[in-house]
Amino acid sequence: MSVLILAEHDGQHIRQSTRSSINAAQARNEPVHLLLCSDHADTLAHEAQHIKGVDLVLHASAKHFAHPLAEDIASLIMKLGNDYTAILAAHTPFTRNILPRAAALLDVGMISDVIEIISPNTYVRSIYAGNILVTVKSSDTLQMFTIRTSAFKPAENQERAAPVQSVSAPDPFKRTRFIDEVHHVSDRPDLSSAKIIVSGGRPLGDQFEALLTPLAKKMNAAIGATRAAVDAGFAPNEWQVGSTGCIVAPQLYIAIGISGAVQHLAGMKDSQVIVAINHDPDAPIFKVADYGLVADLFEVLPELTDALN
């Protein structure tokens, strides 16, 4: 028996989060099949074939996968599911929309956002915004779970090409209609896989992007934001770091004007090095920071941008 992984891509590339789930799946010592759903075949399948740890690429190509609906992918997973011992994906907005639906269709319980795989049916995950860890055990024959991207290293490429097998996509679900999508265009690296993240809070105000972009560019960093900054309209929603946004663990996280609400800390406290710059010496962010600077961010931000080379 084998493991099935739901791949995620942006039309051009397989996402780093998928590579993390491929590495996580190796713990099971079973062949790994990667399910790729797209409206066009070649480049994505080619990339998928060459990811280390992938033994077979299942490619479902259909016109309606240009804007894939959870309804459609979940019914495809249901069709394939009983041939597998485990079905997993990274815990991203795309996959966490799909996998629970597929789990219900397969009558399987699901474990979300796993940070450690202890055995083929036992996992560690966090609850209460990272304040508590729990070990959970699933009694289902088929295991379904999502993994936290930042807790598993992304799989690299390999020379060997795994075979590609096409699978037919079920007929499109008629009750849901795609209307449109809005992508915030940014030339910054992807938040979920960046090595360095420069993140800002509400005090940056409507100068949020103007203030953080020069520093982020200099460090080749992604830009993150607090919920308050996003709610105020200073930063787009996909930049939100926290328990209800993106959970990250980069090599370096620079928190600027961030007080450190529990929900924000849950999204970044596993970063390797944390730097906090805040004018309030009592801000909770300093409790998790490796290096803290108590200062006015409007003064030190340009200074820091200049000082880095």
Partner 1 sequence: MKALVAVKRALDYNIVPRIRSDGTDVDIAGAKMSISPLDEIALEEALRLKEQNKVDEILVVSVGPAITQDVLRHGLAMGASRALLLEAESLLDQLGIAKLLHALVEREKPDLILLGKQSIDDEACQVGQMLAGLMNASQGTFASKLQLVNDEIIVTRETEAGTETLALMLPAVITADLRLNEPRFVKLPNLMMAKKKPIEIIPANELVTHLEPRIKRTQISPPATRPPGILVKDVADLVTTLNKSGALHS
Beta bridge partners of 37: 60
Binding of residue 178 to partner 1 (CB under 8 A): yes
Minimum Å distance from CB 124 to partner 1? Answer: 8
Q: Which helix (H) or strand (E) holds 285?
A: helix 285-288
* Residues in contact with partner 1, shown as a per-residue x/- string from 70 to 109 under the rule CB under 8 A: xx--x----------------xxxx-xxxxxxxxxx-xxx
The answer for residues whose C-beta is within 8 angstroms of residue 102's C-beta and 6 or more apart is 73, 74, 75, 77, 78, 81, 87, 144
* Residue (of 223, 218, 188, 221) closest to 309 by Cα position: 218
- In the range 106-165, which residues lie near partner 1 by CB under 8 A? 107-113, 122, 126-140
Q: Which is nearer to partner 1, 72 or 162 (CB)?
A: 72
| Beta strands 110-119 and 122-127, pairing class | antiparallel
- In the range 235-274, which residues lie near partner 1 by CB under 8 A? 236-238, 243-244, 251-252, 262, 269, 272-274
- What DSSP line would sit under 33-98, residue for residue? EEEEEESS-HHHHHHHHTBTT--EEEEEE-GGGGS--HHHHHHHHHHHHTTEEEEEEE-SHHHHHH
Binding of residue 187 to partner 1 (CB under 8 A): no
Binding of residue 298 to partner 1 (CB under 8 A): no
Query: How many angstroms separate the CA atoms of 155 and 41, rounded?
Result: 21
- In the range 219-238, which residues lie near partner 1 by CB under 8 A? 219-220, 227, 230-231, 236-238
Minimum Å distance from CB 161 to partner 1? Answer: 28
* Residues in contact with partner 1, shown as a per-residue x/- string from 2 to 41 under the rule CB under 8 A: --------x-------------------------------
Minimum Å distance from CB 184 to partner 1? Answer: 5
